[in-house]
Amino acid sequence: MSQIVAKSPNGLPGVPGGLLNNFAQWVADIGARTMEWTIGLGSISLFFGRTLRWLVTKRPRRETILWNFYQIGVLSLPVVALTGTFVGMVLAVQSYAQFKMLNLETRLGAVINMSLVRELGPVLAATMLAGRVGSAMAAELGTMRVTEQIDALSVMGADPIHYLVVPRFLACLFLIPALTLMADFMGVVGGYYYSVYLLNIDAYYYLQNSANYVGWFDLAAGTFKTLFFGAAIAIVGCHHGFHCDPGAEGVGRAATYAFVHSFVMILLLDLILGIGLDALYNVLFPQGPRLV
Protein backbone atom coordinates (compact mmCIF):
# COMPACT_ATOMS: atom_id res chain seq x y z
CA MET A 1 0.00 0.00 0.00
CA SER A 2 2.79 2.38 0.94
CA GLN A 3 4.27 1.76 -2.51
CA ILE A 4 1.07 2.94 -4.18
CA VAL A 5 1.00 6.16 -2.08
CA ALA A 6 4.59 6.89 -3.05
CA LYS A 7 3.65 6.57 -6.74
CA SER A 8 0.68 8.98 -6.42
CA PRO A 9 0.83 11.59 -9.21
CA ASN A 10 -0.22 14.27 -6.69
CA GLY A 11 2.94 13.90 -4.64
CA LEU A 12 5.51 16.62 -5.25
CA PRO A 13 9.15 15.54 -5.21
CA GLY A 14 11.17 16.96 -2.36
CA VAL A 15 8.16 18.21 -0.35
CA PRO A 16 7.30 16.45 2.93
CA GLY A 17 3.89 14.78 3.05
CA GLY A 18 0.75 15.85 4.89
CA LEU A 19 -0.52 19.43 5.15
CA LEU A 20 2.51 21.05 3.52
CA ASN A 21 2.29 18.72 0.57
CA ASN A 22 -1.42 19.48 0.11
CA PHE A 23 -0.75 23.22 0.30
CA ALA A 24 2.07 22.96 -2.23
CA GLN A 25 -0.21 20.96 -4.52
CA TRP A 26 -2.94 23.61 -4.13
CA VAL A 27 -0.49 26.39 -5.08
CA ALA A 28 0.74 24.31 -8.03
CA ASP A 29 -2.86 23.77 -9.21
CA ILE A 30 -3.60 27.50 -9.03
CA GLY A 31 -0.39 28.21 -10.92
CA ALA A 32 -1.27 25.66 -13.61
CA ARG A 33 -4.81 27.04 -13.94
CA THR A 34 -3.50 30.63 -14.16
CA MET A 35 -1.04 29.65 -16.87
CA GLU A 36 -3.78 27.80 -18.75
CA TRP A 37 -6.06 30.87 -18.63
CA THR A 38 -3.25 33.24 -19.66
CA ILE A 39 -2.29 31.03 -22.59
CA GLY A 40 -5.97 30.75 -23.62
CA LEU A 41 -6.43 34.51 -23.45
CA GLY A 42 -3.25 35.10 -25.46
CA SER A 43 -4.30 32.53 -28.04
CA ILE A 44 -7.77 34.04 -28.57
CA SER A 45 -6.30 37.57 -28.73
CA LEU A 46 -3.83 36.51 -31.45
CA PHE A 47 -6.66 34.73 -33.27
CA PHE A 48 -8.76 37.92 -33.14
CA GLY A 49 -5.78 39.97 -34.32
CA ARG A 50 -5.21 37.66 -37.29
CA THR A 51 -8.90 37.82 -38.18
CA LEU A 52 -8.83 41.65 -38.13
CA ARG A 53 -5.66 41.69 -40.24
CA TRP A 54 -7.25 39.46 -42.91
CA LEU A 55 -10.40 41.55 -42.72
CA VAL A 56 -8.56 44.64 -43.92
CA THR A 57 -6.04 43.02 -46.27
CA LYS A 58 -8.08 40.72 -48.53
CA ARG A 59 -11.76 40.58 -49.39
CA PRO A 60 -13.35 37.15 -48.79
CA ARG A 61 -14.84 35.29 -51.74
CA ARG A 62 -18.44 36.18 -52.56
CA GLU A 63 -19.76 32.63 -52.32
CA THR A 64 -18.33 32.08 -48.82
CA ILE A 65 -19.86 35.38 -47.66
CA LEU A 66 -23.31 34.59 -49.08
CA TRP A 67 -23.36 31.03 -47.70
CA ASN A 68 -22.40 32.19 -44.20
CA PHE A 69 -24.83 35.12 -44.23
CA TYR A 70 -27.59 32.69 -45.18
CA GLN A 71 -26.61 30.09 -42.55
CA ILE A 72 -26.12 32.58 -39.74
CA GLY A 73 -28.70 35.22 -40.60
CA VAL A 74 -31.62 33.80 -42.54
CA LEU A 75 -31.79 30.45 -40.77
CA SER A 76 -31.66 32.11 -37.32
CA LEU A 77 -34.60 34.38 -38.05
CA PRO A 78 -37.45 32.12 -36.79
CA VAL A 79 -35.76 31.27 -33.49
CA VAL A 80 -34.87 34.90 -32.81
CA ALA A 81 -38.38 36.15 -33.69
CA LEU A 82 -39.89 33.51 -31.41
CA THR A 83 -37.58 34.48 -28.54
CA GLY A 84 -38.45 38.17 -28.95
CA THR A 85 -42.22 37.58 -29.03
CA PHE A 86 -42.22 35.47 -25.88
CA VAL A 87 -39.89 37.81 -23.99
CA GLY A 88 -42.29 40.71 -24.74
CA MET A 89 -45.31 38.73 -23.57
CA VAL A 90 -43.60 37.35 -20.45
CA LEU A 91 -42.52 40.87 -19.43
CA ALA A 92 -46.18 41.96 -19.62
CA VAL A 93 -47.28 38.95 -17.54
CA GLN A 94 -44.63 39.49 -14.85
CA SER A 95 -44.92 43.28 -14.48
CA TYR A 96 -48.68 43.72 -14.72
CA ALA A 97 -49.60 42.84 -11.09
CA GLN A 98 -47.12 45.29 -9.51
CA PHE A 99 -48.04 48.17 -11.83
CA LYS A 100 -51.77 47.46 -11.36
CA MET A 101 -51.34 47.83 -7.57
CA LEU A 102 -49.96 51.34 -8.16
CA ASN A 103 -52.58 52.08 -10.82
CA LEU A 104 -49.73 52.62 -13.28
CA GLU A 105 -50.54 49.82 -15.71
CA THR A 106 -50.41 52.17 -18.72
CA ARG A 107 -46.70 52.68 -17.91
CA LEU A 108 -46.25 49.00 -18.76
CA GLY A 109 -45.54 49.99 -22.36
CA ALA A 110 -42.55 52.07 -21.29
CA VAL A 111 -41.20 49.33 -19.01
CA ILE A 112 -41.63 46.48 -21.48
CA ASN A 113 -40.26 48.36 -24.47
CA MET A 114 -37.42 49.99 -22.58
CA SER A 115 -36.33 46.62 -21.08
CA LEU A 116 -36.62 45.04 -24.50
CA VAL A 117 -34.65 47.46 -26.62
CA ARG A 118 -32.00 48.30 -24.01
CA GLU A 119 -31.35 44.94 -22.41
CA LEU A 120 -33.43 41.84 -22.90
CA GLY A 121 -33.77 41.93 -26.67
CA PRO A 122 -30.02 42.22 -27.33
CA VAL A 123 -28.89 39.85 -24.55
CA LEU A 124 -31.47 37.13 -25.15
CA ALA A 125 -31.11 37.28 -28.94
CA ALA A 126 -27.33 37.08 -28.56
CA THR A 127 -27.68 34.17 -26.11
CA MET A 128 -29.92 32.29 -28.52
CA LEU A 129 -27.43 32.95 -31.32
CA ALA A 130 -24.49 31.87 -29.17
CA GLY A 131 -26.32 28.55 -28.78
CA ARG A 132 -27.44 28.22 -32.38
CA VAL A 133 -24.61 29.83 -34.31
CA GLY A 134 -21.59 29.79 -31.94
CA SER A 135 -21.88 26.08 -31.08
CA ALA A 136 -22.56 25.15 -34.69
CA MET A 137 -19.44 27.05 -35.84
CA ALA A 138 -17.30 25.36 -33.18
CA ALA A 139 -18.66 21.91 -34.09
CA GLU A 140 -18.26 22.47 -37.84
CA LEU A 141 -14.75 23.92 -37.67
CA GLY A 142 -13.81 21.36 -34.99
CA THR A 143 -14.83 18.52 -37.31
CA MET A 144 -12.82 20.17 -40.08
CA ARG A 145 -9.81 20.35 -37.74
CA VAL A 146 -10.15 16.70 -36.65
CA THR A 147 -10.54 15.44 -40.24
CA GLU A 148 -7.55 17.56 -41.39
CA GLN A 149 -9.70 19.76 -43.67
CA ILE A 150 -8.21 22.90 -42.09
CA ASP A 151 -4.71 21.53 -42.76
CA ALA A 152 -5.81 20.79 -46.33
CA LEU A 153 -6.76 24.45 -46.78
CA SER A 154 -3.32 25.52 -45.54
CA VAL A 155 -1.38 23.19 -47.82
CA MET A 156 -3.39 24.42 -50.79
CA GLY A 157 -2.16 27.94 -50.07
CA ALA A 158 -5.49 29.21 -48.69
CA ASP A 159 -5.32 30.78 -45.24
CA PRO A 160 -7.93 29.04 -43.03
CA ILE A 161 -8.60 32.25 -41.07
CA HIS A 162 -9.27 34.19 -44.24
CA TYR A 163 -11.34 31.42 -45.79
CA LEU A 164 -13.28 30.15 -42.76
CA VAL A 165 -13.24 32.77 -40.00
CA VAL A 166 -13.53 36.12 -41.81
CA PRO A 167 -16.88 35.31 -43.54
CA ARG A 168 -18.33 33.97 -40.25
CA PHE A 169 -17.05 37.00 -38.36
CA LEU A 170 -18.62 39.40 -40.90
CA ALA A 171 -21.90 37.48 -40.85
CA CYS A 172 -22.08 37.64 -37.05
CA LEU A 173 -20.98 41.28 -36.93
CA PHE A 174 -23.62 42.49 -39.38
CA LEU A 175 -26.45 40.06 -38.89
CA ILE A 176 -26.59 39.73 -35.12
CA PRO A 177 -27.56 43.43 -34.80
CA ALA A 178 -30.12 42.92 -37.58
CA LEU A 179 -31.50 39.84 -35.85
CA THR A 180 -31.63 41.76 -32.57
CA LEU A 181 -33.75 44.45 -34.24
CA MET A 182 -36.05 41.67 -35.33
CA ALA A 183 -36.19 40.30 -31.78
CA ASP A 184 -36.90 43.82 -30.45
CA PHE A 185 -39.69 44.34 -32.97
CA MET A 186 -41.33 41.00 -32.21
CA GLY A 187 -40.96 41.68 -28.48
CA VAL A 188 -42.69 45.05 -28.85
CA VAL A 189 -45.49 43.41 -30.85
CA GLY A 190 -45.77 40.51 -28.34
CA GLY A 191 -45.83 42.86 -25.32
CA TYR A 192 -48.40 45.15 -26.98
CA TYR A 193 -50.63 42.23 -27.97
CA TYR A 194 -50.60 40.72 -24.46
CA SER A 195 -51.07 44.07 -22.66
CA VAL A 196 -53.74 45.54 -24.92
CA TYR A 197 -55.74 42.49 -25.97
CA LEU A 198 -55.37 40.16 -22.98
CA LEU A 199 -54.81 42.55 -20.06
CA ASN A 200 -57.10 45.23 -21.54
CA ILE A 201 -54.67 48.13 -21.01
CA ASP A 202 -55.63 51.25 -22.94
CA ALA A 203 -53.75 51.14 -26.25
CA TYR A 204 -53.41 54.93 -26.58
CA TYR A 205 -51.71 55.46 -23.18
CA TYR A 206 -49.66 52.29 -23.60
CA LEU A 207 -48.17 53.64 -26.83
CA GLN A 208 -47.97 57.22 -25.56
CA ASN A 209 -45.93 56.16 -22.51
CA SER A 210 -43.70 54.02 -24.69
CA ALA A 211 -43.04 56.96 -27.00
CA ASN A 212 -42.33 59.30 -24.08
CA TYR A 213 -39.78 57.10 -22.36
CA VAL A 214 -38.17 54.99 -25.09
CA GLY A 215 -36.04 57.04 -27.43
CA TRP A 216 -33.74 56.47 -30.38
CA PHE A 217 -30.77 56.42 -28.05
CA ASP A 218 -32.18 53.35 -26.26
CA LEU A 219 -32.67 51.48 -29.50
CA ALA A 220 -29.26 52.56 -30.82
CA ALA A 221 -27.53 51.67 -27.53
CA GLY A 222 -29.13 48.20 -27.43
CA THR A 223 -28.25 47.51 -31.06
CA PHE A 224 -24.72 48.93 -30.70
CA LYS A 225 -24.00 46.40 -27.95
CA THR A 226 -24.87 43.53 -30.26
CA LEU A 227 -21.99 44.44 -32.59
CA PHE A 228 -19.69 43.38 -29.75
CA PHE A 229 -21.81 40.33 -28.91
CA GLY A 230 -21.68 39.25 -32.57
CA ALA A 231 -17.91 39.67 -32.74
CA ALA A 232 -17.50 37.72 -29.47
CA ILE A 233 -19.74 34.85 -30.63
CA ALA A 234 -17.83 34.53 -33.92
CA ILE A 235 -14.35 34.71 -32.42
CA VAL A 236 -15.07 32.41 -29.46
CA GLY A 237 -16.92 29.85 -31.63
CA CYS A 238 -14.27 29.80 -34.39
CA HIS A 239 -11.38 29.75 -31.90
CA HIS A 240 -12.81 26.72 -30.10
CA GLY A 241 -13.35 24.99 -33.44
CA PHE A 242 -9.79 25.72 -34.60
CA HIS A 243 -8.28 24.44 -31.35
CA CYS A 244 -10.50 21.40 -31.03
CA ASP A 245 -9.12 18.24 -29.39
CA PRO A 246 -9.18 15.06 -31.48
CA GLY A 247 -12.20 12.77 -31.65
CA ALA A 248 -15.94 13.09 -31.16
CA GLU A 249 -15.41 14.05 -27.52
CA GLY A 250 -13.14 16.95 -28.56
CA VAL A 251 -15.74 18.28 -31.03
CA GLY A 252 -18.51 18.00 -28.42
CA ARG A 253 -16.39 19.81 -25.84
CA ALA A 254 -15.54 22.57 -28.35
CA ALA A 255 -19.25 23.14 -29.07
CA THR A 256 -20.15 23.23 -25.36
CA TYR A 257 -17.32 25.57 -24.40
CA ALA A 258 -18.09 27.80 -27.39
CA PHE A 259 -21.57 28.41 -25.95
CA VAL A 260 -20.49 28.74 -22.31
CA HIS A 261 -17.61 31.12 -23.06
CA SER A 262 -19.67 33.18 -25.54
CA PHE A 263 -22.40 33.52 -22.91
CA VAL A 264 -19.92 34.69 -20.28
CA MET A 265 -18.45 37.14 -22.81
CA ILE A 266 -21.94 38.47 -23.65
CA LEU A 267 -22.71 39.10 -19.97
CA LEU A 268 -19.33 40.69 -19.34
CA LEU A 269 -19.53 42.93 -22.41
CA ASP A 270 -23.13 43.82 -21.55
CA LEU A 271 -22.07 45.05 -18.13
CA ILE A 272 -19.10 47.05 -19.41
CA LEU A 273 -21.01 48.54 -22.35
CA GLY A 274 -24.07 49.16 -20.15
CA ILE A 275 -21.99 51.26 -17.74
CA GLY A 276 -20.34 53.13 -20.61
CA LEU A 277 -23.56 53.80 -22.52
CA ASP A 278 -25.38 54.91 -19.37
CA ALA A 279 -22.63 57.43 -18.68
CA LEU A 280 -22.86 58.62 -22.29
CA TYR A 281 -26.65 59.00 -21.97
CA ASN A 282 -26.25 61.14 -18.87
CA VAL A 283 -23.81 63.37 -20.71
CA LEU A 284 -25.96 63.68 -23.84
CA PHE A 285 -29.36 63.97 -22.14
CA PRO A 286 -28.87 65.32 -18.60
CA GLN A 287 -32.59 66.23 -18.43
CA GLY A 288 -33.80 63.11 -20.20
CA PRO A 289 -37.02 61.33 -19.18
CA ARG A 290 -36.84 59.01 -16.18
CA LEU A 291 -39.26 56.27 -15.23
CA VAL A 292 -38.83 57.04 -11.53
Partner 1 sequence: MIAQATTEGTISSPSSKDPVLLEVEQLTVAFGRQVVLRGINVQIRRGETVAILGESGCGKTVFLKTLVALQRPTKGRVLFDGRDLFQLRPHELAEQRIRMGFVFQQAALFDSMTIGENIAFPLRQHTRLTEDEIYEVVKARLLEVGLPENVLRKKPGEISGGMRKRVGLARALALEPELMLYDEPTTGLDPIMSDVINELILRTRRQHPVTSVIVTHDMRTATKVADRIIMLYPLTRLKPGESQILYDGPASEIESAADDRVIQFVRGEARERLMEMAREESENAVEIGGAAHG
Q: Which is nearer to partner 1, 71 or 226 (CB)?
A: 71
Q: Largest Cα–Cα distance of the chain, in whole Å?
A: 82
Nearer CB in complex with partner 1: 43/98: 43
Smallest separation, CB 231 to partner 1 (Å): 23
Sign of CA dihedral 194, 210, 129, 260: negative
Q: How far is the CB of 140 from partner 1 (least distance, A)?
A: 8
Residues that bind partner 1 (CB under 8 A): 1-4, 144, 147-149, 151-152, 154-159
Q: Which is nearer to partner 1, 56 or 155 (CB)?
A: 155
Q: What is the closest distance, in whole angstroms, from the C-beta atom of residue 185 to partner 1 in the complex? A: 32
Which residue number, 155 or 283, has a Cβ lying nearer to partner 1?
155
Which residues are CB-contacts of 96 (< 8 A; sequence separation ≥ 6)? Answer: 105, 108, 195, 199
CB of 255 to partner 1, least distance (A): 17
